[in-house]
Amino acid sequence: MDRDKLLCIFQMSIPMLATYDTTTFVELTCQVLLEGDFEEAYTKADNSMVVPTDTVKNTCYVIAKKSDHLGKHFVDKYSHVTHAHVHIVKYRWARINVNGEPHPHSFYRDGSETRETWVTVSANDVSIKSGLEGLLVLKTTGSSFTNFHHCENTTLQDADDRIFSTTVKAHYNIDTSIGVENIPFDRIFEGVRKTTLDVFAHDDSASVQATMYLMGDVILKRYPEVQDVYYALPNSHHFTTNLEPFNLPNSGREMTIFSPITDFSGYITATIGRRGNKF
């Protein structure tokens, strides 16, 4: 198996956050390469000794649920496997700080984002667009998606509580009429970033659309220099991994293993501007 990605969520109670259930999670990409007596699969078209990719994938989920010894499992279980080469990448996530306190269930990917700006200068004018890209965020609860349009092609079920994860792109146009030298660029950028994270963490999200509108609305109220804000928040889906075939619970309070899905997702955008602005 080349690579498989999984998400593990753990719930706990923290005395200082007695009113919340605090969740901790890790996101891992696992690569498992098996070495051993597989010669006849190549030379005689005999698959009897081949451990299928599907088995290796499922094993990664099962071991994540109940044990710590992925490589040892393959060597112990399959006598013809001489070596299990396991490469695991753990992604760096940190809690979003809100009002100086770490949020109990909202996180951002540390170190993956960029700050960007675009400037156009003419003899009589200057236009400035700034923003951030690549800010990965995830919350393990506090998000729903219900009462959406249904038709004969709809299979999606209402979700009263779900993982909300996205990679934030936020661009904003700045009013340069006050003079470039009078614009607090750093303060605006840090404010836009902080507002984005604060709203993401605190909003009891009814949809990605509603959350991004609230982000933009708060920014426009706080920063008069900002003319409009563009957000792109593509869905990063994490679906519950089915562990029923292995007699392992993974629903309700036992729901801890998820599979990130990259095959399809919604690409949701909005531009929130001041009344009368053209964009």
Spell out the domain ranges in the chain.
Answer: 4-90, 99-237+254-273
Determine if residue 53 is labeled as part of a ligand binding site: yes
How is residue 261 annotated by DSSP?
Answer: E
pLDDT of residue 19: 40
Work out the mean pLDDT of the chain and round it to a whole number: 88
- Residue 208, annotated as binding a ligand: yes
How many residues are present in the chain?
279
How far is CA 162 from each of CA 138, 140, 142, 144, 153, rounded to the nearest angstrom? 11, 7, 7, 6, 22
Residue 3 has what pLDDT? 60
| pLDDT at residue 12 in the model | 42
| CATH 3.10.270.10 is held by the domain 99-237+254-273 | yes
Please give the model's pTM, rounded to 2 decimal places: 0.81
pLDDT at residue 4 tops 70 = no
- Contact call for residues 270 and 231 (beta carbons, < 8 A): yes
The verdict on whether residue 54 carries a ligand-binding annotation is: yes
The response to whether 162 counts as a known ligand-binding position is yes
pLDDT for residue 15: 37
Percent of the chain with pLDDT over 90: 55
User: CB-based contacts of 195: which residues, under 8 Å, 6+ apart?
Assistant: 215, 218, 219, 222
